[in-house]
Structure 1
Amino acid sequence: MSSTRRPAVLAAIATATLVVAVPSSATAAPAKKRAQTCETFDRFLQQLTVDGVTCPGARRVIYSWARSSACIPAGEGFIQDRARTCTVRGFVCKPRKGEGGVRVTCKSKADAERVIRFFDSQG
């Protein structure tokens, strides 16, 4: 490049406008996560679904929930009559009495989008 053209090229570069496409919030909505259904390997545990959690990870949380005296105190009665809100493996699990058992929703304390839902018919 000749030295006479260099100032013209530099001037063109200096005055060029940089255009960057930035999607607006209306067009860049986050993708909705889908609930995944997992195998339970337990005849009493049904309808296991997860959002943002692996199936093996969810089964570990449920295993801990079922064995925690903070979640299901020892004593007489069905699980649905004894289950209460508790924290296991970083998830807050809230039971709801249901027809023939208890429905439990466990949400991660660190990330509210990580959710485990299941139905325990043992009660």
Structure 2
Amino acid sequence: MEMKRSESQPPYVVIAADLRRQILDGTYAPGARLPTAKDLAAQYKAAVMTVQSAVRLLREEGLVITQHGRGIFVSATPGEVSEGAEQSPGYAEIMRGIDTVIAELGRLDNRMRTLEETVEALQRGR
């Protein structure tokens, strides 16, 4: 499933919205484990960091919990989504800052991938 691009929303928000819909419609039941961030990144054709940001958003809403080394799980009570967070003071400014950091991390990820490919090509050529 390719992520639908949106000019008005950052990719992680679009991914979070799709996962939220799947959680609330029962596709992912309470207690169910979601695919890994790497698998979700492949599914949405997005960077792992973008998926991690989407998961962070869902965790802040109380929809999922993450267990280090075990995975991402749907909360026992996913229907209790915290509402009104976007109206809190400074929310938009914080989100713009986060979006900037995420975009830069994506660029760095791409540069790192290119460098790794170049090093591998050089090593094969020896």
Question: How does the TM-score come out when normalised to structure 1?
Answer: 0.24
Radius of gyration: which is bigger? 1
More helix by share: 2
Question: How does the TM-score come out when normalised to structure 2?
Answer: 0.24
